[in-house]
A = this chain, B = another copy of it.
């Protein structure tokens, strides 16, 4: 008979653990408990939704690998992406007896784990640190949403895009998915536009401008921040909202 904690289980929850651990240091017990609370994991192709608007859910979805997003479909057939999901992110847990107002889907080949609500509750009760880390994570998610609001409300196309690249860099670095200043971003320009509230055409032109400025390079679904400081400056990016430390003014990127 096989033990539930295989190597596989471990690597699967690594991003989640990395993220939570960045907020509240966890011990081995905590990590084992998290691994045990995740029941099933399923693989998704790009475009497949794992949370659907209007449904009710009794489990929390955790992105284990790949890349995803939450979005709302609009009446005119368009959609607005309201958040990106990187490995270690989970869908909010405030939707118990409520029809959920948005959908979530994979943007790249991904795997998604399920943590049934009872497991989550038990996990939080027995592992205070995990509970605090989860609360912290959800506070950061909210803060990200607020920053997006500023993006759409006050920033120009180039600022928005630069800001998104900075945000994703920091988030992916937190879960150990960056190499130097490079990370995988396997999404189309159209999808970028759906998140940034820009037309595909304008996304393209804006990307060109960032490349022309020597601020980033994009090839084969990978983004490299060539001049992180300059990029952060044009984005008016200050990463402190993504961090747990209480430093009032954090260094750029």
Evaluate contact between B244 and A197: CB separation under 8 angstroms.
no
Complex: A132 Cα to B75 Cα, angstroms: 31
Contacts of A99 in B (CB 8 A): 240, 246-248
A47 within 8 A of B: no
CB interface residues, A 117-163, toward B, < 8 Å:
132, 135-136, 138-139, 142-143, 145-150, 152-154
Evaluate contact between B94 and A142: CB separation under 8 angstroms.
yes
A54 within 8 A of B: yes
Evaluate contact between B246 and A80: CB separation under 8 angstroms.
no
A2 within 8 A of B: no
**A240-B99, A246-B98, A248-B99 known; A142-B145 Cβ under 8 A:** yes
Evaluate contact between A154 and B101: CB separation under 8 angstroms.
no
Evaluate contact between B246 and A154: CB separation under 8 angstroms.
no
**A78-B154, A136-B98 known; A72-B197 Cβ under 8 A:** no
A-B contact pairs, 28 of them (CB 8 A): A56-B246, A72-B147, A78-B154, A80-B149, A80-B153, A80-B154, A82-B146, A82-B149, A82-B150, A93-B135, A94-B135, A94-B138, A94-B139, A96-B132, A97-B136, A97-B244, A97-B246, A98-B136, A99-B240, A101-B143, A101-B241, A102-B146, A145-B146, A148-B149, A152-B153, A152-B197, A153-B197, A154-B197
